[in-house]
Amino acid sequence: MTDTLERDRALLTIALFAAFADGSKHENEREEVRRIADSLSGENAPDLRALYQDVLLKRVTLADAAQCLEDPGEKHLAYEMAVGVCDADGRMIDSERAFLDELRGLLEMDPVDSDAIESEAEQVVAMSEAAAPAAVAGSLADPAPEDAPTVDEQALEKSILNYSILNGALELLPQSWASMAIIPLQIRMVYTVGQKYGFELDRGHIKDFLATLGVGMTSQYIEQFGRKLIGGLFRSAGGRGLGRLGRSATSVAFSFATTYALGQVAKRYYAGGRQMSTELLKSTFNEMLGSAKQKQGEFLPQIEQKAKSLDMGQIMGLVKGKDAV
């Protein structure tokens, strides 16, 4: 049986290889992954900063990492996580498919298992496509509509809080698809906020908005995966994660804070007619994130309660807007 620390190191190394599999990550996304490496490295955790450098400088190979995983459940989790990272931005290119083909062979995955993982990931990718239209006219810099609608601020605030509780709950679940659903729900939330203020947004606009705030999709997924792994929620048996709900909950329900801060900045941005500069957007998000981290403890009981009732069908309905959040 693989040593726990060695296993976690191997899983995180594979996550980093998956993040850079497209060969074209921009410097800002690499910096975001480095920041996450700094935040996740701790006394009882793998040194993700060192792993990050090892992957970038090619001091370790994918084969090295895969060889450290012996248990079928560990291999299943590694492949599930890698597929999730490659799919995190909603598209998979040829180099990422080639990477997954290589990883599948190194892990000696059963084709039935790998096909099931990829099918599940495709359902989650469909969530992102359902969260907002593919394209609309205009750009992020368009001015506010002349006849701006009246917004029920109290109801909108409640909606942002509900999205935040929901995403915090998703991060407490051991399934990989649960983490992948966080980003589509954030897209849906921003889309809804924009609509309330009279803006019709598409997925491209919202992804640009998230990227401007420093909330990259690939880096977000790695962060969620790393927190689950280090928090003890990924403990696999028989090929599926069986982590106990609520373990290390205060440390892994981080998506509550990210979602809440994102919603608050979106509300200010669209209420003000999209006039905030890039620098102001970033500083406002960081300020909101700090206060949201303090707030998440207050809502931890609601987050844990929500996590007990979630399933894939319900989440798909929420992302598509069929059900109210």
Residue carrying the six token digits 């040829």: 94
The predicted structure's pLDDT at residue 238? 35
Residue carrying the six token digits 């640009």: 208
The predicted structure's pLDDT at residue 246? 42
Residues sharing a CB contact under 8 Å with residue 18, sequence separation 6 or more, in sequence order: 81, 82, 85, 86, 96, 99, 103
pLDDT score of 138 more than 60: no
**Which one-letter amino acid corresponds to residue 318?**
L
CATH code of domain 4-122: 1.10.3680
**Which one-letter amino acid corresponds to residue 41?**
S
CA distance 240 to 218: 23
pLDDT score of 40 more than 80: no
The answer to whether the beta carbons of residues 62 and 79 sit under 8 Å apart is no
| Residue 321 burial by Cβ neighbours in a 10 Å radius (0-12, 13-18, 19+) | middle
Domain boundaries, the chain: 4-122, 132-319
The predicted structure's pLDDT at residue 30? 64
pLDDT score of 39 more than 70: no
The answer to whether the beta carbons of residues 31 and 68 sit under 8 Å apart is no
pLDDT score of 63 more than 50: yes
CA distance 184 to 303: 18
pTM exceeds 0.95 for this model: no
pLDDT digits (tens, 9 = 90+) for 248-285: 454 556 789 999 999 999 999 999 888 888 899 999 99
Q: Between the CA atoms of 322, 92, 177 and 119, what dihedral angle is there, to the nearest 10 degrees?
A: 90
Q: What pairs with residue 236 in β-bridges?
A: 241
Phi-psi map region of 139: left, alpha, beta (phi>0 left; psi -120 to 50 alpha): beta
CA distance 195 to 142: 14
